Amino acid sequence: MVFKLSKLFSSASDTVTVGKSGVVGVDIGSSSVKVVELEQREDVIALKTYGELQLGPYGGLELGQVTSLDKKRKTEALVDVFRESGIKATKGVIALPLSSSFVTIININADIKKEPDIGPRVRVEARKYIPVPISDVSLDWFELPPLGDLPENTREVLVAAIQNDVFSETMDIISAVNNQQQPSEIELFSSMRSTIKSTDTSLAILDLGADTSKLYIVQDGMPRKIYRNPVGGSQVTQNIADALNVKYEEAENLKRNYYEQMPEAQAVKKAFVETYERPLQEFRKVLLEYEARQNKPVGRVVVTGGGAAFLDTAPYVAYMFDVEVERAKPFSKIAYPAFMEDVLFDIGPTFSVAVGSALRHFE
């Protein structure tokens, strides 16, 4: 398995070196699968095609609902979205969900002069955080530069692991669409790649997914804090359905097509606010604690994920965090026709992971 953290860190920048061929980035989420095909055109990376397919019907559920599919159903969905989107690339990079991987930052008490190699100790410490046998995962780690007021001889290490059976299944799935096996990565790093600017020294990425919400705090291109909350867009949809006494699919459409003048606007917005209020309070607390440790504010806050596509997400997060908040624009990293500007702005947050994974190939 190709899994090198040093490669991931060096790639999280605003500048992308063009490769020699096209590639498709694949993001199989909990409610939909997203694909983005990029290709080289002279000296730029350009968008060729993209697509999204809801996974609910493949699991006997409604559109937008969270589902857990077996390999056969995931393969069917990926084949379908490739066909409907007109994907032609023979190389693919697939992002693995954070739910099937383990990423954490641990502290190792070791004097760098007396113990320069802490690799063996990292594996021992990692056992305390990874809830499966070490033999069942592919493990990598990266020692982070000193940051903040750490106790003497305390060294921070980012540990990442991917379950071997999940990785094997993923490779089988992407092989089913005639794609060559490519290095895969955890979705966190794909989001970073499509979001970070070369001018960023610090960044907070709030990823509002269908099943869970995540906060990534990035410093100098490296993740320094990861916090998860088990609340996502599917709960918003269910709350809309309950409030308006409509089916889940209708509630999902109301959420996706929300605008302030629609008759159901008040109920839709209320469901959104009530669902995310407590998680956002938790995320703000985490962010403030990090900023207090650094004694300076995080440079930017960006919202991404399907939940960020909701019209009022960025303003509401800005209100809760009491800071300026930006909506993710992953397509700004690539070239595309001018007439697609509005569409790509609308769908951008949903495709952050797919775009970021495709960009990996061009580094």
Please write the tens of the pLDDT for every residue from 17-43.
Answer: 444 558 999 999 999 999 999 998 888
- Per-residue H/E/C for 240-292: HHHHHCCCHHHHHHHHHCCCCCCCCHHHHHHHHHHHHHHHHHHHHHHHHHHHH
Give the span between the Cα atoms of 318 and 174, in whole angstroms. 38
Spatial CA neighbour of 107 closest among 96, 95, 121: 121
Give the span between the Cα atoms of 231 and 254, in whole angstroms. 19
Q: Which residue has the higher pLDDT, 81 or 92?
A: 81
Give the span between the Cα atoms of 55 and 32, in whole angstroms. 5
- Pairing of the two strands 202-208 and 300-304: parallel
Give the span between the Cα atoms of 113 and 226, in whole angstroms. 29
CATH architecture of the region 5-360: 2-Layer Sandwich (3.30)
Region of 305 on the Ramachandran plot (φ > 0 left; ψ -120 to 50 alpha; else beta): left
Which residues, at least 6 apart from 345, have a Cβ–Cβ distance to it below 8 Å?
327, 329, 331
- The domain segmentation of the chain, as residue ranges, is 5-360
Instruction: Note the pLDDT of residue 181.
Output: 57
Please write the tens of the pLDDT for every residue from 232-241.
Answer: 999 999 999 9
Give the span between the Cα atoms of 55 and 74, in whole angstroms. 8
Please write the tens of the pLDDT for every residue from 134-150.
Answer: 888 888 888 888 877 77
The SS3 assignment for 154 reads strand
Give the span between the Cα atoms of 22 and 253, in whole angstroms. 33
Please write the tens of the pLDDT for every residue from 222-232.
Answer: 999 999 999 99
What angle, rounded to 10 degrees, do the helices at 187-195 and 352-360 form? 90
Tell me what the pLDDT averaged over the chain comes to: 88
Res. 154 pLDDT band, cuts 50 70 90: confident
Instruction: Note the pLDDT of residue 182.
Output: 61
Q: What is the DSSP string of 198-254?
A: TT-SEEEEEEE-SS-EEEEEEETTEEEEEEEES--HHHHHHHHHHHHT--HHHHHHH
C-beta separation of 198 from 185 below 8 A: no
Instruction: Give whole-number Cα distances, 241 to 68, 248, 251, 264, 311, in Å.
Output: 21, 6, 5, 11, 18
C-beta separation of 236 from 251 below 8 A: no
Instruction: Give whole-number Cα distances, 277 to 218, 240, 315, in Å.
Output: 23, 15, 13
Instruction: Say if residue 320 is exposed, middle or buried (CB neighbours under 10 Å; 0-12, 13-18, 19+).
Output: middle
Spatial CA neighbour of 307 closest among 211, 192, 167: 211
Res. 2 pLDDT band, cuts 50 70 90: very low
Q: What is the mean pLDDT of residues 85-101?
A: 88
